[in-house]
Each structure stands twice: as structure tokens, then as C-alpha cells.
Structure 1
Amino acid sequence: MTTQLRPLARSEWDRWFGRLELAFGGVAQDPEERRLWEELTEPDRSIGVWDGDECVGTAGSFGFRLAVPGGGHVPAAGVTMVSVAATHRRRGILTSMMRSQLDGLRGRGEPLAVLTASEPEIYGRFGYGTATHQLTVEIDSSRVRVAVPPGAEDVRLRFVPPGDGAAACERIYRATTGSRPGAPARSPGWERLPLLDPPSGREGGSPLLCVLAERAGEAVGYVRFHNRPHWTAEGPAGSVLVRDVEAAEPAVYAALWRFLCGIDLTTSVRSRNRPVDDPLLHLVSDVRRCGVRVRDSLHLRPVEVGAALGARTYQVPLDVVLDVEDAFCPWNAGRWRLTGGPGGAACVRTGDAPDLALSVRELGAAYLGGVSLVSLAGAGRVRELRGGALGAASLAFGSAVAPWLPHGF
């Protein structure tokens, strides 16, 4: 059986996306959601594998600028919509799409590729490492209280229609989250993503609700959520499903969480995606009753090692020679001298003796500062070849705040 890999034509999008839906369970997305993804899809960045007239493989990417340690933004490909038909598994289709895609990204001059994985074990063989994690919390709000610092009583909270509050929420998002490592800068069109409200995404809850936090008439925080009523023989036991919550200052952030945990007729508050260093963990009265779980989130791969490592800054001065293994993208393999610090960095080829040995997958995991090289060495995935090099490099690669992917793509 012969298959053909080719760029996606706009006229093929419906069949292409329908194949993706089938691969992920066969449930069609809500028309509004489907329409947004069609508008955001970049055909020249998308590929399909065809068996005759049947699409049997899909893959695409979005052109992002990703926040990195130091506050800069680096061009990155947001790999997405990857699927292989169940009838065509284990025939090398995924590998062929990853090969074509990474070659294309290199040609575009994009030094990073990032993705979220339906199954985390899939993409390691293509050089992707887990670079960010996310918290899921389920607060027993009938027993947990939220402490608020001084200033919270000056905050006014009010409900607004989500569309009416969108501009203020987007401004706060950019100011509070847009510079955190791992966050993609939202290009035009992406501001519509957090406003999508298909019934299938409400988990039995209300249509999307939005509360703005204001001080002196200015919006300084927001929360978007669903309220899911539930009654038992003992009384009300509703739940609050938090979509996103951001604030410009600690007192406002605490006030929003206190509001969420005090909504009438509810006994739990759940959020599926918060950063692992979320201040919420220090505001709650009993973290044991908050159902905290951690899972992988953003997977990252340097497409061009030299350009990627030279595009971010480092916490302390650094001069280290890395011996990099990269079987899938051999242009990255070999020795690289990385020098830099808080003011910038450079990474160039070298023939000098290596200080650390690792694969491109470990570089991807450590790149945003949320996974330490010391931790990876403890798992046998980084080898120290010069005494003291590991600790110094691990400190330099770190980030003052945990990297975080605030939304999918």
C-alpha cells in the first residue's frame, strides 16, 4: 500500500480535520470551536498523509513566539493536530510526518518546537522533553479557607458577560502571564480561544461566567468559570470549574480565590491547569484538602541547538561545553560551547573537551528552567564529565518562576 505525504490544501481541511476527530474518538467538535480551529490553521504549516483519497495522517504547527527565561520571546512552532488512522498504525507514518515537519521548521529558521501530548511517551523518541508541568487542584471549599493579604477589602468584584470583559482580561493576561516562560504570545485570533464555550466543555456546568476584580474603577484581575449545581439528600453540593484566573497583585489574586471558594450552594472548586509554584498553595488553610496533582504539560525540542540555547538568558554566568546526542536531527549532534549570563548568551560549535553529556531531549526538558539538570542527572540522563560543571550549569539554566503553559493549542 502506497501513501503520499503532502502539504495541506485549504480545500482539504474538512476531510483532514475530520480524520483528526476520528483518531481522537470520533466525536465531532462543536461548530463554533471547529470554525475557530479552521481559521487558525495555517495550511502551509500543515501536512497530511493520504492513501488514495483517504486522509490517514495529520500534523500541523502554529507559528508562535514563546516566552523564555529572561523575559524574551523566541520563535517556536506549536506542533498540533497530530494523528494517524487506526487502520494505518505501525507503518512509519508518524515518523515520516515528524521528519518532514522538523526539516521544514529548520528551513523556516524556528529554533524551537513545542507540543502537548495525548500520551507523554510518544514524542521522546523524536527529541521532545517535558519542559513544563501543571497543577490540578480540587479544593474542598466546605472546609478550606483562603487567607487574604492586606488590600483585598478594597477590591470590587462584579459579574460581566465574558465578551464584554474580554479586552480587560486579555490586558491582564499579557501583563501577568505573557512573560512567564512557556507561555506563547497570543497573535491575532488567539484571544478568542478562552471565550470558546461549547456545551461539551462545561462538564454539566453553566455557560461561561466571568467576574472582574476592580480597584478604583480599573480592572486588575479576573476569573472565568462554570458553576455546576448538584444536590444530595444532605443538601447542596455544587462545584465550581475554573477555566482561568489571573490578577495583577497578590491581594487581588487572593480575593478572587476567596470568592470562588465562597460561592453559595457549592462545596468544591476545581482548576485543571495552574503553575506548579502557584501562590494558591500558600493561601489555603489546608493544602491536604486541595487534591493537588501534577502532570506533564509542554514538551519542547530544540530544532537548532545553537540558536535555541543562545536565545535565552541564564541566572548566573555560565561557560560550559555540552556533548549533545541527537539521532533524529543529526545537525545538532556534537559539542557546543554555551557562554552567557543574565545579559544574554551565545552557543557555538567547539572542539573542546566536553563538560556535560546529554541528549537533545534533556536539553528540551531543561530549556525553560523548570526541570533541573541535576534532577535529570539523578535519573542517569545527564552525565557530568568535569567536576562541578553539573551544579553550575543546573543553577544557570533555572528560572525564578516556574515555566507554565496557560492554555493548549
Structure 2
Amino acid sequence: MVTDAARDGRSDGIVVRGLARDERDRWYGTLLRAFGGVPEPAEARELYDALTEVDRSLGAWDGEACVGTAGAFGFRLTVPGGAAVPAAGVTMVSVAATHRRRGLLTSLMRRQLDDVRSWGRPLAVLTASEPDIYGRFGYAVATHRVDVEVDTARVRLSVPPGTDEVRLRYAAPADVLDVCEAVYARKVPGRPGMLVRLPGWERLPLLDPEASRAGASPLQCVVAERDGEVVGYARFRVKPESDEGGPRGTVILEDTEALDAAAHAALWRFLFDIDLTCTLTARGRPVDEPWQYLVSDPRRCRPRLRDALYVRLVDVGAALEARTYQAPVDVVLEVEDAFCPWNGGRWRLMGDAKGATCERTEDAADLALSVRELGAAYLGGVTLDALAAAGRVRELRPGALAEASVAFASTVAPWLPHGF
């Protein structure tokens, strides 16, 4: 049996190893300093202390000093077809500024991906504070998000039939948490990239430290109901402002879900119409969210596209078998993966809307690509055609690219509902 010390000792004396519980505070101090040194509000620190999985956390130690950190949450991520696939949510990654350019991040990523593989999780996912870091470890952008700033004084909504049948009521966010979470849970299978809310994570949307409000109100909530059933909700804040012309407040949307078109429209109409406001801001929304097709003037919504979830296939065969494909596909993939060489080689993927198999093969390859391209295309939001146009995928059998690109795509844009 190989011990941690034998596996993780480095020639420069730094050791990368699993975190002990009594080292948590020192480990967290290193992480906090790397991200600027500003303490989190106590409410947020308490929640993340509770959610942190110490047995999935790594520290890099130079003697008694912690000089690097990495952690992982045990998530279940939805994929095309609706399955919730076990995934490692990579988080809390840092290297002390005193220990740059010494290969420490590579050591942390090496150990972490080995661990993820040993846990039997075919995927690793993360959100990147610095996007150019993680490509060399096999991660690629798989989902995008839209941030908007809507001029609600000038933009109108054209709502669908049935909107007026939806009734809205204010409620304290904590009082309706269960019914809101039930709505969220019903939405999860229908959109790739969403996270099944495991115990404890339902508290995340209710985080409301005063220090983080920037002059806005405490968190507010409305629920949408039809025939006594909750069919949607919106959590938001209001930031009162005014100038010589009168009130110019801002509505800050934090979180919303709806089960049908009428409930969705009713919630967004409410947000547009809140008294004494003329702006609605929302961050991290799906790129295909329906409100965009109800507005009278999309330019006055000022949409901005940003990267969101980065995906890394840790076990190519298991990952490709875990999702379905919107069209029949039978393709041999020549996969390059220098960082996780167990993924390298040829894989035959056969699948359709009912399921898939992906196994090693000696057959001639139809497409050649790296594990990064597979990660980008995995949730269906980035097409293989687009990656081929960028020179990232090579077609070796005529017609294979079109076949695979259609099969991998999702009719619903993948979306990460919240960070971690």
C-alpha cells in the first residue's frame, strides 16, 4: 500500500496531503489570504464550514506552514437526458504568493484528480476566478451565463395567455423554503448543468449578511401560485435610490424558478413593476431564459455573456455513457489527455436518446480531440462543429463531425444555478 507521504512528498520538502480536521483553520487562513484577506461575513463562514468536506480537502505544507489549498464538494450534476451524475465540485483552490512558480498548483491538481478517480466520480467541475489557469489540467468552459441590466421604465413585457391566472404573494424566504426547493427540484432534470441540492445546500440561497447588501434591502421573496399550488418563486432585493427627477430604485434579482410559461411571465412582470424602481439587474441567468423573448427592446436589457461552469472528464468512458444523445451516434473518438493518461486512446461511443455505451476500441478513429473539447461539448451547450471550426477537433471520417455534433447538442442550454 502506498502511503500519503510516499505518494505526495516533493523533492523541495513541500508535502501535499489530505487535510486533518484540526488543521482546518490554518488551511482556511491560507485560502482567505490568497483571495485578498477580507474575512467573509460570519453567516457565510458558518455555512461553508458546515458544507466543507474535510475528507475531500487537500493542503500543501512547507513544514508547519500551509502554503496551498484545494477542496471538492460531492455533487450530482444533471446531464443531457436528465441523469444526475456524481461529480467533484472543485473549490477553494489557492497557492500562497510566497510559493508561486514551484509547480505547487500542478501537484494539487494531480493529487486531486487521482482522488476524484478513486472516488468513482466521472466528472470534475469548477468555476474559475482566473479562467486561464485550468485549461492545462483538462478543464473547459461548458456553460455560459447572461448578466442583464434592464431599463424597466422603457422595456415592456408581452405576457402569454394564463399569466393573469397566476397569483403572487409575499412570504418570508425562510418560511417558504420547502416549497421553493420543491419547485427547484422539479426543474433540475430538465436542464443540463444544474446541481441536485444536497442536504445543507438549500441554505445557500437564503444567505443574507447585511455587509453584502451594498445598500439594498434584506432578501425578499414572492411565490407564484395557481389553484393553491406553488408554481414558481423569485428571491430579490430592492435598492432605493433617487435623483432630481424622482425615485430611481433598482430591483436585484437573486434567484427565480417557474414551472410553466405563465408563472415565469407573472414573476418577471412583477419584478418589472415594483414601485419606485426603474432598473432590474440579474446575474448568472440561463442564456435561453424565456423572459428574453417577452421584452419589447432587448438592447435596453444590456445582456452580457460570461463563462460559468468548467467541466473535466475524469473517466471518459463512464462520463460519455452517463448522458444520452439527441440523435443516434456511432463514432470512434481519438482522445488526447496528457494530464490523466488513463483517458487517452480510442473510444467507441454508441448512443441515442435512450442511452449509450462507450468502450475502448482498436477501430480507426472518426474524430480526434483532447479531453478539453469533450468537456466543453459534454453538457450540450458548445457544439463540436464550433470547436472544429476553431481547429480543436479534427474530422477523420467524412460525415462523422456532423453526426456527433448533432448528437452531443442539447435543446436546452446548460446552466449552473449557483456557484460553489
TM-score using structure 2 length:
0.96
Pair 1:25–1:187, CA change in 2 (3 A): same
Alpha-carbon contact 1:229-1:238 (below 8 Å) kept: yes
Alignment partner, residue 406 of structure 2: 395
Q: Distance in 2 between matches of 1:295 and 1:25?
A: 23
Shift of 1:319: 0.4
Q: Distance in 2 between matches of 1:22 and 1:138?
A: 32
Alignment partner, residue 328 of structure 2: 317
Q: Distance in 2 between matches of 1:248 and 1:400?
A: 18
Q: Distance in 1 between matches of 2:190 and 2:208?
A: 26
Q: Distance in 2 between matches of 1:205 and 1:178?
A: 33
Aligned partner (choices 201, 207, 218) of residue 190 of structure 1: 201
Q: Distance in 1 between matches of 2:133 and 2:383?
A: 22
- Map 1:80-229; keep pairs closer than 5 Å: 80-229=91-240
**Percent identity over paired residues:** 65
Alpha-carbon contact 2:78-2:85 (below 8 Å) kept: yes
Shift of 1:138: 0.7
Alignment partner, residue 334 of structure 1: 345
Unpaired runs of 5+ residues, structure 1, are none
Shift of 1:4: 1.6
Q: Distance in 2 between matches of 1:286 and 1:58?
A: 46
Alignment partner, residue 269 of structure 2: 258
Aligned partner (choices 22, 35, 45) of residue 11 of structure 1: 22
Shift of 1:278: 0.7
- Map 1:251-290; keep pairs closer than 5 Å: 251-290=262-301
What amino acid maps onto 2:313 in structure 1? P
- 1:237 correspondence with 2:280: no
What amino acid maps onto 2:94 in structure 1? S
Q: Distance in 1 between matches of 2:235 and 2:298?
A: 23
What amino acid maps onto 1:83 in structure 2? S
Aligned partner (choices 49, 53, 60) of residue 38 of structure 1: 49
Alignment partner, residue 72 of structure 1: 83
Shift of 1:294: 0.6
Q: Distance in 2 between matches of 1:356 and 1:223?
A: 44
The 4+ residue runs of structure 1 with deviation greater than 6 A are: none
Q: Which moves more between the two structures, 121-130 or 149-158? A: 149-158
What amino acid maps onto 1:214 in structure 2? E
What amino acid maps onto 2:372 in structure 1? R
Unpaired runs of 5+ residues, structure 2, are 1-11
Alignment partner, residue 351 of structure 1: 362
SS in 2 for 1:36: helix
What amino acid maps onto 1:35 in structure 2? E
What amino acid maps onto 2:392 in structure 1? R
Q: Which moves more between the two structures, 47-56 or 254-263? A: 47-56
Aligned partner (choices 277, 284, 308) of residue 297 of structure 1: 308
Q: Distance in 2 between matches of 1:268 and 1:177?
A: 29
What amino acid maps onto 1:231 in structure 2? S
Q: Distance in 2 between matches of 1:178 and 1:340?
A: 19
Q: Distance in 1 between matches of 2:197 and 2:393?
A: 34
Alignment partner, residue 8 of structure 2: none
Shift of 1:178: 4.8
Q: How far does the alpha carbon of each residue in 1:56-110 deviate from its partner, in whole angstroms, 9 at most, with x for none?
A: 1110101111100001111110101111111111111110000000001111111
Aligned partner (choices 50, 59, 63) of residue 61 of structure 2: 50
SS in 2 for 1:19: helix
Q: How far does the alpha carbon of each residue in 1:211-241 deviate from its partner, in whole angstroms, 9 at most, with x for none?
A: 1111122211100011001111221111011
CA-atom RMSD, angstroms?
Answer: 1.0
How many residue pairs are counted as aligned between the two chains?
409
TM-score using structure 1 length:
0.98
What amino acid maps onto 1:332 in structure 2? N
What amino acid maps onto 1:360 in structure 2? V
